[in-house]
Amino acid sequence: MSNVPVETATAEIVVNQSPTRFQGFWRSFRKKKPALYSFYFVLLLILTMLFGPSVVPYDPALPDYNKVLESPSAEHIFGTDEYGRDILSRLAVGARISLSVSVSAVLIGMIVGTILGLISGFFGKWVDKAIMRVCDVLFAFPDLILAIGIVAILGPGLKNVVIAVSFFSIPSFARIVRGATLEVKEMLFVEAAKSIGASNTRIIWKHILPETVPTIIVYFTMKVGTAILAAASLSFLGLGAEPSSPDWGAMLSMSRDYIDSAFHLVFFPGLIIFLTVLAFNLLGDGLRDILDPKTKD
Amino acid sequence: MWQYILKRVLSLIPLLLVVSFVIFMFIHLIPGDPARLMAGKDATYEEVQAVRVHLGLDKPLLEQYVLYLKDLLSGNLGYSIKSGAPVADLVAERIWPTLGLTFMSIIWALIVGMLIGVISAVFRNKWPDHLGMLIAVSGISLPNFWVGLVLIQLFSVKLGILPTGGATDWKSYILPSFALGAGIMAMIARFTRSSMVNSLKQDYIRTGRSKGLGGRQIVFGHALKNSLIPVVTVAGLQFGFLLGGSVVVETVFSFPGLGRLLIDSIQFRDYPVVQAEILLFSLQFILVNMLVDIVYSFLNPKIRYE
């Protein structure tokens, strides 16, 4: 009789000690230093996006003609531009434009691509063939050329950059989610759900989609880096943000004329684009190693 | 083998038809009246009508597409709105510098990328590996237009040893090809490393070692040889990345290639040139992908039977 409560207590201790899924993930993630530091950098960027405009030391749009093209100093850490505006303040405010454009473009691509991939993988047959042929057509255009073509049709502007970048993200998400769906579809719990009469919609949303989420998260993180580069390239080419806006690509485009007289104008916007893309790529690599190790390399 | 090639080439026909239709629709997807847009804001009704007739926009859509296909097959890519010159001539002028640039980029990217990948794999999990992979992940993350501007500042403005732009001689290809190839080099380094790591674990490597073969012979004679197939495939598949990148890099270096022509044409709303260029870029991309598939099936016969 006296053994029963002891066993229950031990069992409780074991249950309490076993880590949750998130704790297990976090333990593995913390060991991956490049990914961890990249995660902190991305967090910092998100904070800059949210609070940057209210904490920057100078008004990013206000010209100061007494301080035109000043080199980095204690007063202006990244120097000033051709209108005497503080570059650090402009980069901090520009984070909101550059990141929101890229993240929203990949989000749209992810949502549309995931829905197409789930439908394609689950229903197979002609539905699969039709969706994959559409993807083949989109894949027939190099990413940036497709984006440039779409902006050429719709006209320059950030809204159209979002549409253009999301367009080339769709087929990659559709293919990846389709592959994951084909794998999950054969698993026993899906068979079990089918056998108890669950509807197709329920099986897709409640059983298949949650299993593909890790793959989607990894791919999303990696694709954000690509999208930042593509959006910056379009702005650099004069097809994205307004040249006067503090968008990182547009800032670089405007700085070209001062390459021999004020190199800091070229250097800092490019450096911030590079570090941001690097952070998303390293974060994506780390997440892949933990969440989706079979797709490594 | 020939049967596979024929099958692969024939499978391109429906794709090419759809792609050509998408590109044909390009002019029709522009919001507003394309004839009015191309004639300009101040054009009279008669001038707009003349542009409409000139481009065949007054005919039914299907007829326009059939005529477009016929023109394409006879090498007629239309006429530039800006200069009135045949688009085929404009493109022919610019294609060689772009091909030269992409060729130089891929060559240096292959050599350096494979070297970094091999060193990383041989010294797996040691500092040369960490350094190699840091270079690789940085290369993927670098904006090529920024690399171009930094190179101009360093080698043209400061040192004055290389030209800032143009395509006058071989020297003017060095900086643009470096800026364009950096991303591909990084990808090749990553794939070479992973492919080499895999090869170095194989039984034939153990056999080679037990026979007393030297490290260099094992790495270059056996492991690298067998790692080349996926690496060459990746290099071929990344060709699209080069084509897209060439547009940006050519703009940075004022390089007289197809990419620069595309951006200039978009700015001048010279839609027939834009349309022809997008067709040409996607055609090159599709053909290179097909060639990669054929080479891959040649190197790995299993693919032919799948």
Contact between chains at B266 and A285 (C-beta distance less than 8 A): no
Question: Three-state SS across chain A?
Answer: CCHHHHHHHHHHHHHHHCCCHHHHHHHHHHHCHHHHHHHHHHHHHHHHHHHHHHHCCCCCCCCCCCCCCCCCCCCCCCCECCCCCEHHHHHHHHHHHHHHHHHHHHHHHHHHHHHHHHHHHHHCHHHHHHHHHHHHHHHCCCHHHHHHHHHHHHCCCHHHHHHHHHHHHHHHHHHHHHHHHHHHHCCHHHHHHHHCCCCHHHHHHHHHHHHHHHHHHHHHHHHHHHHHHHHHHHHHCCCCCCCCCCCHHHHHHHHHHHCCCCCHHHHHHHHHHHHHHHHHHHHHHHHHHHHCHHHCC
Mean pLDDT for the stretch of residues B114-122: 90
Asked if pLDDT for residue A67 goes beyond 60, the answer is yes
Residue B268 burial (CB count, 10 A): 15
Per-chain mean pLDDT for chain A: 85
**Model pLDDT for residues B182-224, shown as the tens digit of each residue:** 989 998 998 888 888 887 777 777 777 777 777 777 777 777 7
- What pTM value is reported for the model? 0.86
Across A204-213, A265-274, B191-200, least confident range: B191-200
**Model pLDDT for residues A130-174, shown as the tens digit of each residue:** 998 888 888 888 888 889 888 888 888 889 999 999 988 899 899
- Between CA B205 and CA B216 the distance in angstroms is 12
Residue A16: band (very low, low, confident or very high) from pLDDT cuts 50, 70, 90: low
Option in B145, B190, B278 nearest A236 (CB): B145
Residue A12: band (very low, low, confident or very high) from pLDDT cuts 50, 70, 90: low
Question: Residues B240, B51: contact at Cβ < 8 Å?
Answer: no
Option in A142, A153, A256 nearest B285 (CB): A142
User: Of the spans A99-108, B21-30, B230-239, B264-273, which averages the highest pLDDT?
Assistant: A99-108
Mean pLDDT for the stretch of residues B92-104: 90
pLDDT at B304: 60
Residue A258: band (very low, low, confident or very high) from pLDDT cuts 50, 70, 90: confident
Option in B194, B240, B274 nearest A297 (CB): B194
Residue A44: band (very low, low, confident or very high) from pLDDT cuts 50, 70, 90: very high
Contact between chains at B244 and A277 (C-beta distance less than 8 A): no
Residues of A in contact with B240 (CB under 8 A): 141-143, 145
3-state secondary structure of B191: helix
Chain B: residues touching A (Cβ < 8 Å):
15, 18-19, 22, 26, 29-31, 137-138, 140-146, 149-150, 152-153, 157, 190-191, 194, 240-241, 243-245, 247-248, 251-252, 262-263, 266-267, 271, 274, 278, 281-282, 285-286
**Model pLDDT for residues B38-78, shown as the tens digit of each residue:** 777 788 888 888 888 877 788 888 888 888 889 888 888 88
- Between CA A227 and CA A105 the distance in angstroms is 7
pLDDT at A1: 41
Mean pLDDT for the stretch of residues A52-59: 82
Compute the count of residue pairs across chains A and B with CB atoms less than 8 Å apart: 130
Residues of B in contact with A238 (CB under 8 A): 263, 267
**Model pLDDT for residues B225-249, shown as the tens digit of each residue:** 777 777 777 777 777 778 888 899 9
Contact between chains at A259 and B149 (C-beta distance less than 8 A): yes
**pLDDT over 70 for what percent of chain A?**
92
Mean pLDDT for the stretch of residues A18-25: 76
Handedness of CA B141, B143, B146, B150 (dihedral sign): positive
pLDDT at A228: 93
Asked if pLDDT for residue A287 goes beyond 70, the answer is yes
**Model pLDDT for residues A110-141, shown as the tens digit of each residue:** 999 999 999 998 888 899 889 988 888 888 88
Question: Residues B253, B176: contact at Cβ < 8 Å?
Answer: yes
Residue A17: band (very low, low, confident or very high) from pLDDT cuts 50, 70, 90: low
Single-letter code of the amino acid located at B23: I
**pLDDT over 90 for what percent of chain A?**
27
Mean pLDDT for the stretch of residues A51-73: 83
Which of B20, B24, B146, B288 is the best substitution to test chain A (most A C-beta atoms within 10 A)? Answer: B146
pLDDT at A2: 45
Handedness of CA B224, B225, B229, B234 (dihedral sign): positive
Mean pLDDT for the stretch of residues B128-138: 89
**Model pLDDT for residues A80-104, shown as the tens digit of each residue:** 888 889 999 999 988 988 899 999 9
Contact between chains at B153 and A285 (C-beta distance less than 8 A): no
pLDDT at A293: 64
Residues 201-260 of A with CB under 8 A from B: 225, 229, 232-233, 236-239, 252, 255-256, 259-260
